[in-house]
C-alpha cells in the first residue's frame, strides 16, 4: 500500500510514517510512504527515526496545480492529510491565510484524490484530521461522530469544518477523524507549558470548566494505520480513553506524575494548582468550547481498538521527555 502523508514536519505526520514503516519492518503490513511539507526538504524532528529517511516531496497544498501534479505522479493508495494551520489564537488575525491552508489546501487535495480514485481500479482513500472545534462546545452531552450540528466559535474551527465538508461532499472513500487536546513529543503543547511554568512558579491557576480528553499523536497514528486497512469509511472521534477531564485535572496529573518520576519541584509541597473558570482566567483571542467531550463509541462499533487511557499515555510521554 502506497501512502502519501502531508504535514510530516508536524508530529502526527511524523508519527504516521514511523508507525507504517515499523509495521512494514515487523511484517505486520507492507507500506511505501512518502512525506510532504512546505519546506524544500524534511524539516521536522531530526530524531533519526524512519520519517527522516523516507522519500520526501516539497509541496505547497495551496497550489492546486502543484497538488494535482504531485499526487497524480505519486499515485498513492491513501492520502493522510495532516497538514493544517493549528495556531488557534493567531488564526483570528490571519483569516485569509488560515483559510488558504485549511480550506483551499484541503479542497486541492480532495480534487486530486477524486481524480486518482476515478482513474484506478483500486481507487484512492483519504484521511482528514479534524477537530472538536467544529462544534459550539455548549452543554454537557458528548458530541457524536455523525452529529451535524456544526457551529464553530473561531476561525480555526470554521476553516477545519470547511475542509471536512470538502472531503465528505466530494469523496466516498474517506475517514474524517476529529481529535482534541493533542500532545506531541516535539513542538509546543499543554504538558510542556505546564512543566515550564511549574519550574518558575509556586502557584498556578488552570481553567476547570473546559472539559474534554487529551490525544497522544503516537497512539493516534496506530489507529489511523488500522483505519486505512479497512473500508469502514465515515466520521470518527478519536482521543485517548479514561474519561472526560478539565485542563485543571490534566495539569494536576501532569505534576503528580512528574514528581513521581523524580522531579520534586512539581510535588504538592512545592507547587499549588488552583482551579479557575474561563471567565476568571481571562478571555483569549479565540473563543474556546466548554464542552469538548467526544463520543468515541463508533470506533468500537466498527471494530477499531480505542486509544489507551490518557494517564497511561501521559506516563509514556513523560518517560521519554527530557525535562
- The residues annotated with a catalytic role in the active site are 156
Helices (H), the chain: 11-25, 64-74, 88-91, 95-99, 105-119, 155-170, 190-200, 217-228, 247-260, 278-281, 297-301, 310-320
Q: Is 56 in a helix, a strand, or coil? A: strand
Torsions phi, psi of 285, nearest 5? -60, -40
* Three-state SS sequence of 166-216: HHHHHCCCEEEEEECCEECCCCCCHHHHHHHHHHHCCEEEEECCCEECCEE
139: left (phi over 0), alpha (psi -120 to 50) or beta: left
The closest alpha carbon to 242, from 309, 299, 300, 142, belongs to: 309
Tell me the HSE value of 248 on the side-chain side, using a 13 A CA sphere.
Answer: 16
172: left (phi over 0), alpha (psi -120 to 50) or beta: alpha
Take residue 151 and report the three cell numbers written for it.
457551529
The closest alpha carbon to 37, from 3, 60, 67, belongs to: 60
End-to-end CA distance of the chain: 38
CB 6 within 8 A of CB 56: no
- Under 8 Å CB-to-CB from 168, ≥6 apart: which residues? 174, 176, 235
- Exposed, middle or buried by CB within 10 Å (0-12, 13-18, 19+), for 279? exposed
Q: Which helix (H) or strand (E) holds 127?
A: strand 125-131
Amino acid at each position: 500500500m502506497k501512502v502519501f502523508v502531508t504535514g510530516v514536519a508536524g508530529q502526527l505526520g511524523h508519527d504516521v510514517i514511523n508507525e507504517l514503516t515499523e509495521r512494514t519492518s515487523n511484517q505486520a503490513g507492507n507500506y511505501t510512504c512518502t512525506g510532504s511539507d512546505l519546506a524544500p526538504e524534511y524539516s521536522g524532528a531530526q530524531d533519526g527515526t524512519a520519517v527522516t529517511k523516507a522519500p520526501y516531496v516539497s509541496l505547497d497544498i495551496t497550489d492546486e496545480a502543484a497538488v494535482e501534479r504531485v499526487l497524480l505522479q505519486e499515485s498513492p493508495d491513501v492520502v493522510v492529510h495532516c497538514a493544517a494551520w493549528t495556531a488557534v489564537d493567531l488564526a483570528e488575525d490571519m483569516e485569509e491565510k488560515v483559510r488558504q491552508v485549511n480550506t483551499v489546501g484541503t479542497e486541492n487535495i480532495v480534487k486530486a484524490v477524486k481524480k486518482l480514485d476515478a482513474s484506478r481500479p483500486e481507487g484512492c482513500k483519504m484521511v482528514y484530521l479534524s477537530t472538536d472545534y467544529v462544534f459550539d462546545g455548549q452543554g454537557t452531552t458528548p458530541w457524536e461522530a455523525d452529529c451535524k450540528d456544526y457551529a464553530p466559535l473561531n476561525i480555526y474551527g470554521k476553516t477545519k469544518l470547511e475542509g471536512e465538508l470538502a472531503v465528505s461532499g466530494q469523496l466516498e472513500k474517506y475517514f474524517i477523524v476529529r481529535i482534541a487536546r493533542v500532545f506531541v513529543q516535539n513542538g509546543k503543547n499543554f504538558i510542556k507549558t505546564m512543566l515550564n511554568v511549574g519550574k518558575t512558579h509556586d502557584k498556578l491557576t488552570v481553567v476547570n470548566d473546559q472539559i474534554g480528553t487529551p490525544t497522544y499523536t503516537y497512539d493516534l497514528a496506530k489507529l489511523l494505520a488500522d483505519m486505512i486497512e479497512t473500508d469502514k469509511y465515515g466520521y470518527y472521534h478519536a482521543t485517548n480513553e479514561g474519561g472526560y477531564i478539565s485542563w485543571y485535572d490534566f495539569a494536576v496529573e501532569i505534576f503528580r506524575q512528574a514528581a513521581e518520576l523524580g522531579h520534586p519541584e512539581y510535588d504538592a509541597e512545592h507547587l499549588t494548582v488552583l482551579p479557575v473558570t474561563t471567565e476568571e482566567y481571562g478571555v483569549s483571542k479565540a473563543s474556546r468550547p466548554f464542552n469538548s467531550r467526544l463520543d468515541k463509541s463508533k470506533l468500537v462499533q466498527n471494530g477499531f481498538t480505542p486509544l489507551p487511557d490518557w494517564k497511561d499515555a501521559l506516563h509514556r510521554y513523560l518517560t521519554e521527555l527530557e525535562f
